[in-house]
Amino acid sequence: MATIYLSLGSNKGDREKYIARAIEALGACGVRVTRRSSLYETEPVETSSKSWFLNCVVEAQTDLLPPQLMHRLLDIERALGRRRRVPLGPRFIDIDILFYEDRVVSSEQLEIPHPRMAERRFVLVPFAEIAPDVRHPVFRKTIVELLEETPDRSEVRLYQSKSTE
């Protein structure tokens, strides 16, 4: 079983529901979530959309190899309505592989660790909540160190669920 970290985000429709449904779908496709961060409302970065995102990071266990995992995640995105028509446009759900153990994978279809995660507070803040001391396999820095050093100054705030108010 490999330990993996995934980032989930949504900025279209019922964002909270899409993230919950994606996490539920992970279990049905061979990915067992073991920890999950809080939800964070995040300023749009690297996107043409003006709608704020909800983001979280999950730790999970899987027997799937990285390419198989990527295909399953794309299947989940499609099942939840993701259409990649507008590059960097609004999305019901986006699931990225951040880490797969300490492996480094570089192919045309897949890059692990995620190539831009160190420049994204919307990934680093929730990641630091659940796994602050995990080390980036290339940079050899912890998630907390990457968060302290990131040039990204976009707003990331803890989300208060509408269902608990």
Going through the chain in order, the beta strands assigned E by DSSP cover 2-10, 31-36, 40-42, 53-62, 94-100, 105-106, 111-112, 156-158
Q: What is the pLDDT along the chain (165 residues), one digit of tens a residue?
A: 999 999 999 999 999 999 999 999 999 999 999 999 999 999 988 776 788 999 999 999 999 999 999 999 999 999 998 766 655 667 889 999 999 999 999 999 899 999 999 999 999 999 999 999 999 999 999 999 999 999 999 999 999 886 644
The residue behind tokens 């968060």 is: 147
**What domains appear along the chain, each with residue ranges and CATH number?**
2-164 (3.30.70.560)
N-terminal to C-terminal alpha carbon distance within the chain:
38
